[in-house]
A and B are shown apart, each in its own frame.
Chain A
């Protein structure tokens, strides 16, 4: 001890440095641990010194020891000390150590905030760099919150070195502190066009990483990325962008179309394999997204397949591997193009590289068809024989079984063949998969009746030769097969040719060496066989043979009675006594066969895998209720509700028990995240754009999404989302199961009978009935389906980043800035601006702005928005005094930091649409191109304004098609404004009328006074028809779930025969998918839950999930059914096309006139119009038609003018102003989704052109 002190005081120079430590460890190979522990003691001494150099040296050594697996968290405080050294050398050592061993649980991390902040603003770029690098490894939610603003400032640093680091680290900040995403995003986006390629690359990197998790929020960036893709030469950037596009295309098929060409060019031109490969991958993704109805992409597929073939044929194993990987993606949608390369893939099975062989096997799985299954399996069997190493052989074995059994043995045409394959596989030595083979044998034998005789014969043979299988059986998994063999022989013993012999084989002494559970099956099935033998001999009066059999059992069974396995013992002694008793009876010549076989009577039916789950929970039983009072000190659960508020305290007390329950903490953190995610009061942004109106007064009239109150909002004692999920699931299952029970009963009966009737040769019909057991037939109960969110892992940190980035920033959304200083210190540039500017521009007189506007000094959206605001302020000053201050900071922020700030969702969306539409007339252009109808000049309206707008519009419209998107944007804005003005005037006019006329004419919510009887109307339209059946359908949106529509189909039997086994199937597109029950494959049909006697019709409902609702869709589908007349039954099918109109996404929603006015005023809606000539029907009929066919409701009606409203399932507002004047109807419409609006108007036009 004394020596150490002396040594410490004399000279630290003789301390070990890192090199000495390493050298020492290498020289103490024998007692490394001991040596290191002395070193650690030394380090502890060194850390006590005041000299920072000594400390840094110690920390440096600790970092090395950490790599070797030593816990160095005890030195965390010293690391912080070293981090805060003013010397770069030591600082770097400190940050490195911190990055290696700090994490969220490290308590001293909170001490670092100010130090890091200081380093971030250091004049030395490497201090900043080192801090950023370190922070990227240990950033915590608290650090992220406190430092987000500083880092954001650094994103505009003058040095690219700092900029790129700051940009990259933002991703980590977003993850830990999701609230920072929206405020920081504009600047991040800006960095995509940074002059420095490194910064650009970093920005691409971050956005790609973000977009990968929540692609839909980043769709609006597609044009920007597209530009980058076509201009960048940096392969890293290109790869990232191309990968990103791969994630975006499924959401927006039009994007895919646009991508194909440049990607194809890249494929042809690039020499970098990595880029080529990613291009091919994305092209594949595009093709998948376009899979429905684009005929001429076969060239692209060919190109991809051809390029991949080159990769696969390459000598470089890496390329080969990747080629196969990509091939398997094509396989899913275009199996044909891959199948032609079967030879190549079979070749890969011979490759020396196991991963390549496994990839090739995966491919084979998807390539089989009824035709080539046997051939492929034969090849695989050859490989099984050749294969070295049990792992690969086992893999082959499982693959063979997978390939054969996939989708319910779909490709097997001959089950005898399959049984023999299975039997052959039993000869494999040393496989672990005996149980797999066994279960296949059982499955096939039970479900394919016709094969039983054959199977039993084979199994009898197996039993007879059991000794071959069981050479060294205890270690050998293959003896599991005997389990299946014995059971099959026993259960289906009536098919046995020589039951005596099999019985004998099952009772050999050697059996006693088999595992217990197999012996048990042997014993039990020996009894079954015994029953069969008795029965056989009964009729023949050959009592001798029967008695011999009894004797055999009596002799052999005692062997099993002595078994160590309880199960075997019990069964054996039971059966032994039984046989002895029978023997007695036999000696008295009593006929016993009948009674003995009664023991095993009845047929076993296959039970659906999910049957157990479907058992309904009896009423009154709450599985989640506590049986006893919960233990009082179950702290974590009780605390949870408090956690939100008690957060700070918990953190401070943490140090005391950090080590004790690290896991508990992690769990709590998760729970908190989860709770926030599910807490309706926790403010998250939602993707819908209607938010804007929700806090305006009078808005309570607008129907907001209804909350399903049947689900209790919170259940004590469990993290909420779990509980919620469980409840939901339970409820669903209960409902399902109840329906199901009935259904199943019916089916079972049917099923049993059916089987006996048509047990033809081993064709597919044989199995189809079997697998129907587990298919849920009826439509799903409404709102019982899992929403998208449920599917996501609630613990996924990326979930929190699912944030709409196109919405304008709100006041509250600012990065926290330290408040105790009046002047921002460290960011001389930005911070100052952000902080100081806010109040000024707004104080400027609104007149000034108006003037500017008149001058058409279009300073882009920015100024425009301000103007709009001003306007609003002027008009609504009395109504909304709160709005003024609220909106200000947004404005200022945008003005300062963002060149092209995201203005509003609709604007962005329309840009995207315009960019995406390849035709010169964008969906939005339609509205402009259409002759803008003169708004029926109402008498009171100031005439001056109306003509003014009229005059402008056509002018704008004409050159429209030639102009580029930028111009277009501007124009739309202009137009919008005008439109708005107009609208407002109109509105005032309405009000006027409304008041003066005392509302006698006004009609609300579609309740119309009967002026004239309405003609009968039906929304059901023909789906398809043939001589047997007619289908009509209607589509309704599901208000509860923004992604679902319900298709009601009425099936009418037009024939004289009985229609049964109807199966409804639809070819899903990427956008619209038929909701199938859990466990059903994506191509399985839904069984229509009823049969149709002649002349009867019935309705079934199918639920579809849709993603984008702005375009109409067509889905192809097929109905298959069996026509059963007295003497014959035939399979029939009927193809149909389901047309999802945009109307079907609208839901009749009442709206009150003042809310409606607010909505129009808000200025977020795009307008469009429609003119119908020669409509010869009363106005109220016209309205009724629109209401009925297009799901609108009348908000207000005055004379020959009416305003109507509807909402889409995804919350788009659609407003119509319908006016009529001698046979001409003009409809002015507004909606926040222009393409949706355009389509709805088209459909309205369609409706009226038909009458």
Chain B
């Protein structure tokens, strides 16, 4: 079982949090903070497993994480998951994000956390791995987006226009916000399959 999936940046700002067990908001924040502290102090070239996810109850929990550019992707799992398998799953997740957002960067996650949730929902459901095949995931996500678009239809047009105007009026477009090297580079790892 996957107990939680967290994405936060190098400063510990949460970008996505998905808990498969219920915690109060305060506890969730605390878990995110502590996980960040554990993960961020580790060097780049050490192993990606951390034992004793004492944050979330259950003694056989492990933290399995990957660090991409400015973001940490952390999965908290119990002993029924294969460590290397989860590492690959994270890779699949990031590659999928990369495809869906076209060169994903932290800003995409910042502004479209709902979309990230939707993508994640096609991969992991209730803490169990639902689908690991990237093409299948993307197909389903695209189909749902298409449906959303068709629903918005004409009614959605003015809203989109307004949003475009709003963006224009703003001095800064989101993509211009300077946060350094933002694009998540997805390295080509030896594939799992």
Contacts and interface: CB of A to CB of B under 8 A. Distances in A.
Interface of A: 13-14, 17-20, 22-23, 26, 53, 60, 63-64, 66-71, 87-89, 92-93, 96, 100, 103-104, 124, 126, 129-130, 132-133, 136-138, 161, 164-165, 168-169, 171-172, 198, 201-202, 205-206, 208-209, 212, 235-236, 239, 243, 272-274, 277-278, 317-318, 320-322, 352-356
B47 A317 contact: yes
Interface stretch (B16-24, B95-103, B180-188): B16-24
B29 to A, nearest CB: 4
A353 B43 contact: yes
Contacts of B177: 26
B113 A67 contact: yes
A278 B82 CA distance: 7
Contacts of B22: 103-104, 138
Contacts of B47: 317-318, 320-321, 353, 355-356
A126 B143 CA distance: 9
19 contacts: A13-B159, A17-B163, A23-B170, A23-B174, A63-B114, A68-B14, A69-B29, A96-B118, A132-B125, A136-B127, A138-B22, A198-B133, A202-B128, A205-B128, A206-B128, A209-B80, A209-B128, A352-B43, A356-B47
Residue with the highest number of chain B CB atoms closer than 10 Å, among A23, A70, A212: A23
A597 to B, nearest CB: 52
Contacts of A208: 80
A346 B165 CA distance: 65
Contact of B25 (A63, A69, A133, A201): A69
Interface string B58-78: 000000000000000000000
A173 to B, nearest CB: 10
A202 B152 CA distance: 33
Contacts of B126: 133, 136-137, 168-169, 171-172
A67 B152 CA distance: 26
Contact of B17 (A67, A92, A130, A356): A67
Contacts of A169: 125-126
A94 B75 CA distance: 25
B133 to A, nearest CB: 8
B140 interface: yes
Interface string B19-55: 0101011101100000000000001011111110000
B121 interface: yes
B75 to A, nearest CB: 14
B175 interface: no
Nearest to B162: A13
Interface of B: 1, 14, 16-18, 20, 22, 24-26, 28-29, 43, 45-51, 80, 82-85, 87-88, 110-111, 113-114, 117-118, 121, 125-133, 136, 140, 143-144, 147-148, 151-152, 155, 158-159, 162-163, 166, 170, 174, 177, 192-193
Contacts, number: 160
A96 B84 contact: no
Contacts of A273: 84
Contacts of B125: 132-133, 136, 165, 168-169
Contact of A161 (B24, B51, B140): B140
Given A70-B25, A209-B80, A318-B48, A20 B166 contact: yes
A66 B29 CA distance: 10
A355 B25 contact: no
Contacts of B128: 168, 171, 202, 205-206, 209
Contacts of A100: 18
Nearest to B84: A274
Nearest to B45: A317
Contacts of A321: 47, 49
A607 to B, nearest CB: 31
A355 B50 contact: yes
Contact of A209 (B1, B14, B159, B170): B1
A69 B25 CA distance: 5
A70 B126 CA distance: 22
Contact of A243 (B14, B18, B80, B117): B80
Contact of B131 (A136, A198, A243, A278): A198
A64 B43 contact: no
A755 to B, nearest CB: 41
Given A126-B143, A133-B125, A322 B114 contact: no
Contact of B144 (A64, A69, A96, A126): A126
Contacts of B151: 87-89
A278 B50 CA distance: 18
Minimum-distance CB pairs A-B, first 4: A136-B126, A274-B84, A103-B22, A353-B46
Contacts of B16: 67
A19 B167 CA distance: 10
Contacts of B114: 18, 60, 63-64, 93, 96
Contact of B147 (A60, A126, A235): A126
Contacts of A103: 22
A212 B81 CA distance: 11
Contact of B87 (A67, A124, A201, A318): A318
Contacts of B118: 92, 96
Given A18-B114, A168-B128, A168-B130, A322 B84 contact: yes
Contact of B83 (A69, A71, A88, A318): A318
Contact of A236 (B14, B83, B132): B132
Nearest to B85: A274
A229 to B, nearest CB: 15
Contacts of B18: 100
Given A26-B110, A356-B47, 11 more contacts: A18-B111, A18-B114, A88-B144, A88-B148, A92-B118, A96-B121, A133-B125, A274-B84, A274-B85, A317-B45, A317-B47
B46 A355 contact: yes
A171 B128 CA distance: 9
B172 to A, nearest CB: 9
A322 B80 CA distance: 15
Contacts of A129: 140
A20 B170 CA distance: 10
A352 B46 contact: yes
Contacts of A17: 163
Contacts of A212: 80
Nearest to B1: A209
A1044 B82 CA distance: 36
B51 A19 contact: no
Contacts of B140: 129, 161
A103 B88 CA distance: 30
Contacts of A20: 166
A973 B88 CA distance: 48
A26 to B, nearest CB: 7
B83 A322 contact: yes
B25 A236 contact: no
A166 to B, nearest CB: 10
Given A104-B22, A208-B80, A318-B83, A89 B148 contact: yes
Contacts of B113: 18, 63-64, 67
Contacts of A87: 151
A212 B121 CA distance: 24
A352 B88 CA distance: 24
Contact of B82 (A13, A132, A206, A274): A274
Contacts of B17: 67
A165 B130 contact: yes
A448 B35 CA distance: 46
Nearest to A14: B162
Nearest to B30: A69
Contacts of B170: 23
A235 B83 contact: no
A243 B136 CA distance: 25
Contacts of B84: 273-274, 277, 318, 322
Nearest to B177: A26
B25 A317 contact: no
Nearest to B78: A212
B178 to A, nearest CB: 12
Contacts of B49: 318, 321-322, 355
